[in-house]
Amino acid sequence: MRLRGAVVLVVFASACGPTAPGTDGGSGGGGAATGGGSGSDAGFDAGTPDAGTADAGAPDAGRDCTPAVLDLDTPFSTTAPPFVPRAGQQTPTALWGNVAGPRPTNAAWQNFVVGPGQNRVDFLPYQLKALPEGLAVALATPVNTANAIDVPDLKQLVFSSLQAFSGRALDAFDPLSVTMRWRAPGGTMTAPMVFGMPYVTVDYVGLRPFLLPGAFTLSSVNGQTNPGVAMGTRFQVVLSDGSTWLLYASTSLTFDWNRGGLTARAAFTGTLRAASLRRPADASLLDAHAATVPRSGRLELSVSCDVATLRFVYSSTGPGPLLLTALPHHLGRLVMPALVDLEYPTLTGTLRAVEGNTWTMALPLTQLDWTAPRPLAPAYVAEVKTALVADVASMPTSVPGDAYFGGKALARLGRLALIADELDEPALAAAVRTRLGPLVGAWLDGTNANPLVYDTTWGGIVTTGSLASPGAEFGAGHYNDHHFHWGYHLYAAAAMARNDPAFAAAHRAGLRAMVRDIANPSASDPHFPRHRAMDFFRGHAWAAGLSEFADGQNQESSSEAVNAWYGMHLVGLVLGDRRMSDLGRVLLTLEIDAAQAYWQMANASPHYGYPFKARHVVGILFQTRAFFGTFFAAGAQYVYGIQMLPFTPVSETLLSRSWVTDSWPDMSLAAMNATPGWRGFLSMTHGVIDRSAAWSEVNALTGWDDGNSKTNALWWVASRPGP
């Protein structure tokens, strides 16, 4: 198996701020930036600040934005992680093919290779299954209900072979595609699958194609309703469910067909493609692009000052421009897209077709780092300081050994230190860091009660406890939620190291290893997979790890994913690694775009319909399901709150004012049933639209979430724009 399409992530980074390279990951020389343009208006709040909030990305003409080149195809480090190596418990099956560790553990296509490998993957618009008998294809219409939108699990076409397959395995993958290969006596069937493809493609070598109508029957082929013979390079097939499909062959084929399928009369070496024909008018467009086949994709990224330019560059075979489809968040950022009149409804909005082998997207990057974007309201400062004194006096002497809850406790202390910095209280800041340093250091040194180890089977960092019991710590031993967990640890470490360069130097290797675990950009890192969490096509992370879900990969807490990339950005700053910092900012922008498009449902959002849209928030987004609920508790307070926590300066960019305005009536009702800790998150969010009311609500609380504090809650409200 080959690792296909090396990611070319080249950053033209601003010269603003620290630029010193890290000692174990090189940085490049100078170069010229490529500019971005304004994207089309996709009708959603995609990270651009609402009126009255901080400027989260527009370049400042007064800053020095001389670009410098940083090659992100080079690993952050190639050294072994500073943790004891251990073999993982779950053994990769033969479905993984020849891929050796480090292995992806949150890839969008992972249902092809985890467990029996027979669950579906949504390639937008098609849902595909890599089954023993072949590649199953469906284009199912989402079903909207009060608590969920579900894409039905259908099987409409199956690409197979008259010769029985002896096995299948992963053949190649990159950030935008995956290829599976089926073996049979005398030949192979290979399926290159690119996200956003309006055609499903298979390549046959020496086999007789056999196409089955899945759970249905064939009603007609080329307009003929009586079974018989069909010849040529283009076939129009109607199934008993009423769907119409166009089949394209690279060379002429002769099929014998009946209600149960089409069987080629002879062995075939060539390409066979299928496209759903939703409207008769689409046929001419699909015909015109049928011979151009996407094979793989790579990423190109540049950053000039505070605007990133992200490119999807696709490799294809055949003549003419490539035809792919874009999600709503792409359309909001694409620079001069070549849109054509072809659309598909999906779970998360309407796909629009785009011509061309390169997509260029402009992404404004946050300028927020350590502090609020404005001074605290003077009338509130004294109470914030009083709360800070009390919280510092009651700091714990230890934190939980669980990676998630331990991380939250550390990040809570990190917030106290940074708020003390912001309030110019050096003695309080020093007191917090004196307590925080040894606690964070024990995790990074592997000397805490549940030390980190390096999993040599999959290529990742896990705790000793989660490796021994993969279901523990929210499935961390199976790589569930890693970016959530390490985001808290990275944030706490950055807060510690901000005023302590010696701490950053002493723990550089551990911090780099944590970042590499969730966001290694390079296929050349021998110890970690590339982009463990981020799905660049979807524009957000996945969190399910190696777990099987019939609805595909999923992510619950969009806000904790945002926190991961924010923590990475800050760690890049304290390590003097602009490359790491800028990649963190890019991932942060992508995650916020997706959160505002696909988790936060304002009244004007066009991506979800009623009645589900009336819920205003998605609790868990699967590939084929949007659900108003959580994995851990029932109640609207949890569904809302898990999309808000933790509150830090970057929460300002995440929490859309329009969404909070439209959702507040429901949030306020949810708050009535919430414990003080969860009510705190809802009250803090109220501050986005009503600072005064939120201040009263927060002051009335009698308890706090384990990752929050009275100081942080008051700081958040006091730093909101008035009134």
Helices 710-718 and 378-393 meet at what angle, rounded to 10? 170
Is the model's pLDDT at 110 over the cut of 50? Answer: yes
Instruction: Tokens 């009275």: give the residue.
Output: 710
In this prediction, residues 233-262 reach a mean pLDDT of 98
Rounded Cα gap, residues 125 and 343, in angstroms:
9
Rounded Cα gap, residues 317 and 295, in angstroms:
7
65 falls in which pLDDT band (50, 70, 90)? low
Q: Other C-beta atoms within 10 Å of 356: how many?
A: 15
71 falls in which pLDDT band (50, 70, 90)? low
Q: Other C-beta atoms within 10 Å of 701: how many?
A: 17
Rounded Cα gap, residues 78 and 509, in angstroms:
11
Tell me the pLDDT tens digit for each residue of 219-245: 999 999 999 999 999 999 999 999 999
- 206 vs 52, more confident: 206
Least confident of 59-73, 248-262, 302-316, 692-706: 59-73
Is the model's pLDDT at 12 over the cut of 60? Answer: no
Mode of pairing for the β-strands spanning 218-221 and 209-212: unpaired
Residue 2's pLDDT is 35
In this prediction, residues 540-548 reach a mean pLDDT of 95
Residue 467's pLDDT is 94
Residue 187's pLDDT is 98
Mode of pairing for the β-strands spanning 293-304 and 307-317: antiparallel
Is the model's pLDDT at 67 over the cut of 60? Answer: no
Is the model's pLDDT at 42 over the cut of 50? Answer: no
Looking at the chain, the whole-number percentage of residues with pLDDT higher than 90 is 87
The reported pTM is 0.91
Is the model's pLDDT at 46 over the cut of 80? Answer: no
Check the CA dihedral 269-270-274-279 and report its sign.
Answer: negative
Is the model's pLDDT at 568 over the cut of 70? Answer: yes
Rounded Cα gap, residues 521 and 363, in angstroms:
18
Is the model's pLDDT at 332 over the cut of 80? Answer: yes
Rounded Cα gap, residues 549 and 566, in angstroms:
28
Token duo for residue 598: 């696909």
Q: Which domains does the chain have, with CATH numbers?
A: 93-294 (2.70.98.30)
List the beta bridge partners of residue 173: 3, 178
Tell me the pLDDT tens digit for each residue of 261-302: 999 999 999 999 999 999 999 999 999 999 999 999 999 998
Residue 112's pLDDT is 98
Residue 90's pLDDT is 82
By the 8 A CB rule, do 286 and 279 touch? no
In this prediction, residues 307-321 reach a mean pLDDT of 94
Is the model's pLDDT at 321 over the cut of 70? Answer: yes
Residue 722's pLDDT is 83
40 falls in which pLDDT band (50, 70, 90)? very low
The chain-wide mean pLDDT, for the chain, equals: 90
Tell me the pLDDT tens digit for each residue of 126-170: 999 999 999 999 999 999 999 999 999 999 999 999 999 999 999
Residue 464's pLDDT is 96
The radius of gyration computed from the CA coordinates of the chain, to the nearest angstrom, equals 26
Token duo for residue 200: 């499903």
Q: How far is CA 162 from CA 128, 186, 261, in A?
A: 20, 11, 11
Rounded Cα gap, residues 558 and 556, in angstroms:
6
Residue 48's pLDDT is 34
Tell me the pLDDT tens digit for each residue of 18-33: 333 233 333 232 222 2
Residue 27's pLDDT is 29
Instruction: Tokens 């007064």: give the residue.
Output: 62
**Across 510-578, where does the E strand assignment appear?**
534-535, 540-541, 554-555
Give residue 55's identity as a one-letter amino acid code.
Answer: D
By the 8 A CB rule, do 77 and 525 touch? yes
Token duo for residue 592: 């916020």
Is the model's pLDDT at 468 over the cut of 60? Answer: yes
Residue 286's pLDDT is 98
In this prediction, residues 654-664 reach a mean pLDDT of 98
